[in-house]
Homo-oligomer: A and B are copies of this chain.
């Protein structure tokens, strides 16, 4: 699984040292990426990713085991490292009251109260123990960084560490923390923005500008993300100085993804041309195909509860609407390149990306 030395005599990146042969990372997408998808990407020479942020240590153990059963190659396990939600009963009650007509329009009632549907890795000792025991080849952080002792422990277990950043300032924190590589998440990217502090002003740096700023000014290797859908996009990321590109939306239409039929239909249709960033679905900014939820959110009264408290309501609303035959409240995460999606098995998509990259 070791590769030839990289071109131009530059040092090997951590991914190359792990035997990654194509500079392509399949983005971790909680609820959408699966062990089957990750393994297919890794088996094709890229870096597949599973996301365990929305499950617990037992769930993560099962996902890691399934991934290992499907591939002998390196893969990535992604963690949510958000500041835990600050409960605010009044704000939560206002939010549920605002959502209530949407629930009732689908024959359901909103939850009586909101709870966080999962824990942050920042405070999840069971997840840490599981990771130290299973030692996945790559571990990545989203929404921030865990404490220094957790980073040191994971490094001690042999894990290569990645962290999503959306700005040079966040990249400096990652560099200082001893993480190995940064994922430069541009404004185009689908799903949750990895901003460390959702209350801070978001510079909304586009993928082209962010990747170049980080590649030119950071010592860490950069993985570019946001709006990249094909080999031309991967080639552009490399031209900007990235060592690899991370693609998420490009893999959602693969049969191996966990996307449901409504999500696939929306993503494959003309609606792929319009995405929106909203905090209404989960409590944190995330880019989604424009749908009834984002339309409602554009006029929503007040701010949602903290992430992931709001996600409890968002998931419940989607479930209620879907049960009534309405797919327009799904968390249909998608990046700005969504119209360029191709529906095919992950192995075929990786082969296509390889050919496009060689031709670009």
List the interface of chain A (C-beta within 8 A of B).
Answer: 168, 186-188, 203-210, 212-213, 215-217, 226-230, 232-233, 235-241, 273-275, 335-337, 339-340, 360
Contact = CB atoms under 8 A, between A and B. Distances in A.
A208 B227 contact: yes
Nearest to A167: B273
A235 B241 CA distance: 11
A213 B337 contact: yes
B339 A217 contact: yes
A226 B213 contact: no
Contact of A235 (B232, B239, B336): B239
A83 to B, nearest CB: 23
Contacts of A209: 188, 207, 226-227, 335-337
A188 B206 contact: yes
A188 B205 contact: yes
Which of A212, A216, A217 has the most B CB atoms < 10 Å from its CB?
A: A212
A339 B213 contact: yes
Given A203-B274, A207-B206, A239 B232 contact: yes
Copies of this protein in the complex = 2
A230 B212 contact: yes
Contact of A212 (B205, B216, B337): B337
A236 B240 contact: yes
B186 A206 contact: yes
A167 B151 CA distance: 42
Nearest to A8: B359
Of the listed residues A203, A209, A226, A336, the one surrounded by the most CB atoms of chain B closer than 10 A to its CB is: A209
A205 B230 CA distance: 17
Contacts of A204: 187, 204
Contacts of A227: 206, 208-209, 212
A215 B356 CA distance: 15
B212 A229 contact: yes
Contacts of A186: 206, 208
Contacts of A237: 236
A206 B336 contact: yes
A186 B188 CA distance: 10
B339 A205 contact: no
Contact of A205 (B215, B228, B232, B336): B336
Contacts of A207: 206-209
Given A186-B208, A208-B226, A337-B209, A275 B240 contact: no
Contacts of A213: 336-337, 339-340
Closest 9 CB pairs of A and B: A209-B227, A206-B206, A209-B336, A236-B236, A235-B239, A188-B206, A236-B239, A188-B209, A208-B208
